[in-house]
Amino acid sequence: MAAQKVILGADHAGFELKEKLKSVFKENEIVFDDLSLVFDEKDDYPDVAFKVAKRVAREKNLGVLICGTGIGMCMTANKVKGVRAALAYDENTARLSRQHNDANILCLGGRTTDEKLAKRILKVWLNTRFLEGRHLTRVEKIRAFENE
């Protein structure tokens, strides 16, 4: 599995799933930094997403964000320069987000993804590498736009 540090974050709707996913990191000896240590029903996904996304972009780490559907986290995280957040809903979308898009943040839905599936998605995502080749040209177009 990936040796890179992973930055975790969840709002109130994703907190429970985030806690369950920690076992994947521990079992595979992956270093992680949880920025949402305490459940707070007032946590808003933009606040958490920006905090995690800024760290991922600045430190060149990977990240995992979880809200009710994963959509809000994904939309917000992608506002941060250098972030390529992807909402994955199965193992194939997780794999493709890494292979083709070099996604550096995985977004999941705490209310839409059960624990077993979320763990499989996370494992696939962490174990998949960017293919580069023709995909690198596309990612470079995203980077160029960010720098305009």
pLDDT digit string, tens, across residues 83-103: 999 999 999 999 999 999 999
In angstroms, the CA 53 to CA 7 distance is: 9
Domain assignment present for residue 1? The answer is no
Residues spanned by the domain of 80: 6-146
**Active-site residue 12, yes or no?**
no
Is 139:84 a contact under the CB 8 Å cutoff? yes
Domain assignment present for residue 23? The answer is yes
Q: Assign residue 110 the CATH number of its domain.
A: 3.40.1400.10
Domain assignment present for residue 100? The answer is yes
**Active-site residue 74, yes or no?**
no
Give the total number of structural domains in the chain.
Answer: 1
Q: How confident is the prediction along the chain (148 residues), in pLDDT tens digits per residue?
A: 444 799 999 999 999 999 999 999 999 999 999 999 888 888 899 999 999 999 999 999 999 999 999 999 999 999 999 999 999 999 999 999 999 999 999 999 999 999 999 999 999 999 999 887 777 788 788 887 888 8
- pLDDT value at residue 65: 98
* DSSP code of residue 88: -
Domain assignment present for residue 34? The answer is yes
The b-or-e profile of 64-91 (16+ CB within 10 A means b, else e) is bbbbbbbebbbebbbebeebbbbbbbeb
Domain assignment present for residue 112? The answer is yes
- pLDDT value at residue 133: 77
